[in-house]
Amino acid sequence: MDSVENRGKETMMAGALPMLEALKAGMRAAWTDGDFGQIARYDTRGGEDFARRLGLQPGERVLDVACGTGNFALPAARIGASVTGVDFAPNLLVQARARAAAGGS
Ligand SMILES: C[S@@+](CC[C@H](N)C(=O)[O-])C[C@H]1O[C@@H](n2cnc3c(N)ncnc32)[C@H](O)[C@@H]1O
Q: What sign has the CA pseudo-torsion 75, 76, 77, 83?
A: negative
What is the DSSP code string of 58-73?
Answer: TT-EEEEET-TTTTTH
Residue with the nearest Cα to atom 14 of ligand 1?
A: 66
At residue 75, the pLDDT reads 97
In DSSP terms, 35 is beta-bridged to none
Residue with the nearest Cα to atom 9 of ligand 1?
A: 71
The pTM score is 0.87
- 63 CA distance to ligand 1 middle (Å): 13
CA distance 58 to 16: 42
Residue with the nearest Cα to atom 20 of ligand 1?
A: 88
The long-range contacts involving 20-24, CB below 8 angstroms and separated by at least 24 positions, are 24/88
pLDDT along the chain (105 residues), means of 10: 77 87 96 96 96 96 98 97 97 97 86
18: left (phi over 0), alpha (psi -120 to 50) or beta: alpha
